[in-house]
């Protein structure tokens, strides 16, 4: 019987090795550009991806500011449970992100939409709306990329049919962004 840990790490290593570094660098530059222009970086997702979205907003807002002394206007649409549940109850769960974006997003902003499957309806609607108002959009997806992959202007795609490995790749991307932005001259 083989080691489950070795098997998992082997699959993760294979997917990491297959990532397109140029696409990752382009995604980093989109984030850097919006940040340096003073726009907001708005993150969102469901389930594990919601926590990744919150992790990004936390790391980038605190760590990038501390390293560069340049304000980072990061926020996550999942950190206010009152507003999430109010929209879910009063409008629909499919619109919990769109309704928040209507109130806060401007064309100078970036919406970072995280969905392992790429098919979460509330994430798809958020990307569609953000595109309509002129925001930059970055989709982080796994599997086939779902509906988000062709909809988002920029994509980080973990081409794997495994939710946990896709989520690992997305988390690693967030840490790559953190280190890249922290090396930016203020």
CA angle 66, 71, 75 (to 5 degrees): 100
Digit-coded pLDDT (tens) for 76-106: 999 999 999 999 999 999 999 999 999 999 9
Please check the confidence at residue 186 and state whether its pLDDT lies above 90: no
Average pLDDT (33-46) is: 98
- Please give the pLDDT value at position 117: 97
Q: How far apart (Å, rounded) are the C-alpha atoms in residues 45 and 51?
A: 8
The H helix count followed by the E strand count for the chain is 9, 5
- Please give the pLDDT value at position 2: 75
- Please give the pLDDT value at position 46: 97
pLDDT level of residue 110 (50, 70, 90 thresholds): very high
Proportion of the chain above pLDDT 90, given as a percent = 97
Average pLDDT (98-123) is: 98
Please check the confidence at residue 1 and state whether its pLDDT lies above 90: no
């Amino acid at each position: 019987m083989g080691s489950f840990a070795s098997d998992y790490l082997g699959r993760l290593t294979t997917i990491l090795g297959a990532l397109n570094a140029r696409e990752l660098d382009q995604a980093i530059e989109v984030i850097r550009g919006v940040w340096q222009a003073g726009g907001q970086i708005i993150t969102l997702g469901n389930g594990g991806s919601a926590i990744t979205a919150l992790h990004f907003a936390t790391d980038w807002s605190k760590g990038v500011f501390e390293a560069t002394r340049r304000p980072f206007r990061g926020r996550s649409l999942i950190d206010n449970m009152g507003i999430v549940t109010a929209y879910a109850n009063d409008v629909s769960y499919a619109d919990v992100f769109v309704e928040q974006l209507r109130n806060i997003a401007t064309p100078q902003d970036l919406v970072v939409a995280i969905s392992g499957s790429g098919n979460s309806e509330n994430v798809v609607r958020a990307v569609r709306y953000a595109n309509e108002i002129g925001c930059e959009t970055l989709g982080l997806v796994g599997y086939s990329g779902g509906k988000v992959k062709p909809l988002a202007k920029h994509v980080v795609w973990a081409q794997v049919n495994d939710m946990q490995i896709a989520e690992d790749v997305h988390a690693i991307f967030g840490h790559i962004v953190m280190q890249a932005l922290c090396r930016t001259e203020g």
